[in-house]
Amino acid sequence: MLSDKKAILGWALYDWANSAFATTIMAGFFPLFFKQLWSVGVDATVSTARLGMANSIAGTTVALLAPVLGAIADKGTAKKKFLFFFAYMGVVMTSSLYMVSKGDWLFAILLYIFGIIGFSGGNIFYDSLLTGLASEKKLDFVSSLGFAFGYLGGGLLFALNVWMTLRPETFGFADAAGAVRFSFLTVGAWWAVFSIPLLLLVKEPDQKSEVKSQKSKTNAVRAGFTQLRNTFHEIKHLKTIFLFLLAYWLYIDGVDTIIVMAVDYGISIGFQSNDLIVALLITQFVGFPCAIGFGWLGGKIGAKRAIFIAIAGYLFVSVWGAFMQDKNEFYVLAVTVGLVQGGIQALSRSFYARIIPVEKSAEYFGFYNMIGKFATVLGPVFMGGTGLLVKAMGYSSNVASRVSISAISLFFIIGGILLYFVNEEKGKEEAEYLSEKT
């Protein structure tokens, strides 16, 4: 299998495209606008609960659908069709946020939920295209290139949108709220335009089972459910894949917990919101070259060893975060996260791609993304529970918050230990045996 440079570029540009949603919408402006405009006059705890419920509904929906969608796409060779269905669902929902009126929190929540489903659902099929895009030697580099483009593209648009909100008059807006509304349109346009190269340049391998008629489409759906049931039985016997997914669930839970709780933690220990936005931008732009660097490192020392280095970096972050005192330390922490975040995400994806059957890549990446969606379930609860327990013991809220962030180190330690026992060569043999069997 020879790598096609144009196809690889087209594939990586999709990460550039949809990462704008992750940065500007999910991490940046939606939570802020939801609390200050769409839930105006509502108690802060109520608006937080609503937002948390929206994230949970979207995440659970994608997690439950992911393996089923993957199985159907594999049977019908429809990965790109599914990808663009979900991508443009996300584009339409994101752009529609521009129309949400003040106080209309329910409409905002519905658009946000379907936007996340579009974003996450598209990623299932985006990830699955990796196995047919590059040779085994280039998997680490290509996977890392996608994340690198995502950091750079998402970071650039987010920086522009932040600039618009800080200097609205420069861009012809009456106030910051008008700039934020317009930013929703920029994300939708950015996502749509930069998805086109994947559509044009990435070819999906033809298979005999390709669906052409409505009847065969129905058969593909039925066959997809049958394949899904069979794969549940297969995974129980594919010990390498099962062990890796368990390890991945734990250490990526730690990663995602730090991502989603970093701003809340920073505010809890007294940092200003502007400082936190700067830290987020630092992480994005540091992540761009470092994701590529980890791809190179994975090619030199192996993806598994490079993942261990990234886990060690997160261990450092979770422990050091408990002791930091000023915003400069927070910026250094943001740099550290940027150094390893893209690497651990990209190399986990490429490592997994090596140990799964190629002809079932969408389905197996469905399971992979399902694990990723459930990854933020345990960590935040564990972090919050630890803080409450420490505070109940008589310590201050500040101390409780600091202990809670350090408790996340357990996820990296246990996940790293399990990863140590994952045998890549054995995983390849299991995948080859399964491919020959089917």
pLDDT at 33 over 70: yes
- Helix%, strand%, coil% for the chain, nearest 5: 85, 0, 15
pLDDT greater at residue 365 or residue 171: 171
pLDDT(213) > 50: no
**pLDDT, mean of residues 41-61:** 74
3-state secondary structure of 207: coil
Is the confidence at residue 408, as pLDDT, over 70? yes
Name residue, tokens 């995974």.
235
Residue 60, token pair as written in the block: 């659970």
Residue 351 in contact with residue 303, Cβ under 8 Å?
yes
pLDDT of residue 111: 96
If you average pLDDT over every residue of the chain, what do you get?
Answer: 83
Sorted by sequence, the CB contacts under 8 Å of residue 397 that are 6+ apart come out as 268, 387, 391
69 vs 82: which has the higher pLDDT:
82
Give per-residue pLDDT as tens, 250-272: 999 888 777 766 666 666 667 77
Portion of the chain with pLDDT greater than 90, in percent: 38
CA distance 223 to 245: 25
- Maximum average pLDDT range among 118-132, 212-226, 257-271: 118-132
Q: Per-residue confidence at 212, pLDDT binned at 50, 70, 90?
A: very low
pLDDT computed for residue 100 by the predictor: 92
Band the pLDDT of 214: cuts 50, 70, 90: very low
Query: Could you give the CA distance from residue 421 to residue 243 in angstroms, rounded to a whole number?
Result: 8
Q: Which two tokens stand for residue 24?
A: 């500007």
Domains of the chain with CATH codes: 5-203+218-437 (1.20.1250.20)
First to last CA, the chain: 21
The conformation of residue 206, written as its DSSP 8-state character, comes to: P
Map tokens 């939801």 to a residue. 34
The whole model's pTM is what? 0.79
pLDDT, average across residues 14-24: 94
Contact 68, 363 (CB under 8 A): no
Q: Is residue 210 over pLDDT 50?
A: no
In this prediction, residue 21 has a pLDDT band, given cuts at 50, 70 and 90, of: very high
